Structure 1
């Protein structure tokens, strides 16, 4: 699979490129700013773009805005955002544009090569990967009238793991329970959030969007 990297830190860009190559990706372009990212995606049409949230010239949200352009113009390109700090609204912006192929991780996750590769592959395959710290912050910021109040503490925990992008098997392993128990929790979550019958994966995304406050 082909990948493009947009990161202004040379050292981090080299590190991400090495991890991508280790995971079997072919890095077809590297750039340090949003304009270069858009040109690279237009030229190479990569399977995934790994994008820094803040890049030159303003170091605010250039990477996010470029990622949203990519989602509109080249929807087959998956996006994995990297950020120095927890800014969960950026994850919500991306997740609200499509049903998969998006991720938002803190840069510190790159150091855990195995975990980072798993997230890369999941996003490239059309799944999602949301940093656990973003999920934790979303839970803290829930309001008193939040519809998620219908969920039990265990169901909230399962939904948080779904938001991270974990599969049923991954959730079961994390909670040390059987997959049938996880499936039951997920069915309860979907029912309590009044999500209509649809394709299973799509309902999971709708549940995560509800969790992010966008559903």
Structure 2
């Protein structure tokens, strides 16, 4: 019988090579997809993956500077390729996002190789690999996160341009004194802006404000 083709899309070289070697010994025709130069947009990986004509793609959710691997799930699924996510990310909402976009199952990188191989075997045979209860739980986590993100973005839209710039400085790790120097204003002025930011975002600290902005995948306005 023809060996099942498997493509590995993973930015951690050691893990990827170990997976390729182990699955090859299990009898699969495995190929690691080169990610190319750092910062390359993740959508440019799709043609490289499809050219290898895999039956199953093993995909990580966090591909370093290339971005969110979940963006590849839907186009791969539309092409008829089965996607199995194997990730070090532990956020259930991220797992739910992958499932919502068509991934057949999400496994942690700590999962035994036998579990990964068994999932590949079932997926390649068109068999279910995720029970109804776990799917429902992951989807609930994803929908709850969407609500949280929408709420965070609505709060961020309350900020003035100047307040958004200050929050952008915090995202880059700058403190009040440095922000004041860069903006050529007094520290008192920046502290007043910070108070307004915290009030509008309904948080009690700069750390919480940064956390909210990152969770919403927010970017400050360009100068």
Structure-2 separation of matches of 1:13 and 1:129: 22
Q: Unaligned regions of 5+ residues in structure 1, if any?
A: 131-157, 164-207
What CA deviation, in whole Å up to 9, does each residue of 1:53-99 have, x standing for no partner?
Answer: 1113255x2x1101222123x1x21101122132222332333345x
Find 1:44's aligned residue among 43, 48, 52. Answer: 52
Instruction: For 1:171-182, list aligned pairs within 5 A.
Output: none
Query: 1:211 and 1:69, CA in 2 relative to 1: closer, same or farther beyond 3 A?
Result: closer
Structure-1 separation of matches of 2:85 and 2:138: 19
Residue 212 of structure 1 pairs with residue 215 of structure 2: no
CA RMSD of aligned residues (A): 2.8
Structure-1 separation of matches of 2:77 and 2:96: 14
Larger radius of gyration: 2
8 Å CA contact retained: 2:7, 2:54:
yes
Task: Name 1:199's counterpart in structure 2.
Answer: none
Structure-1 separation of matches of 2:24 and 2:14: 16
Query: 1:209 and 1:127, CA in 2 relative to 1: closer, same or farther beyond 3 A?
Result: farther
TM-score, reference length from structure 2: 0.51
Task: Name 1:118's counterpart in structure 2.
Answer: 118
8 Å CA contact retained: 2:62, 2:89:
no
TM-score, reference length from structure 1: 0.52
What CA deviation, in whole Å up to 9, does each residue of 1:8-64 have, x standing for no partner?
Answer: 1111011110222123210244223645641222212210111111113255x2x11
Instruction: For 1:15-54, list aligned pairs within 5 A.
Output: 15-32=18-35, 34-35=42-43, 37-54=45-62
Q: Which runs of 4+ in 1 moved over 4 A?
A: none
Shift of 1:117: 1.1
| Number of aligned residues | 134
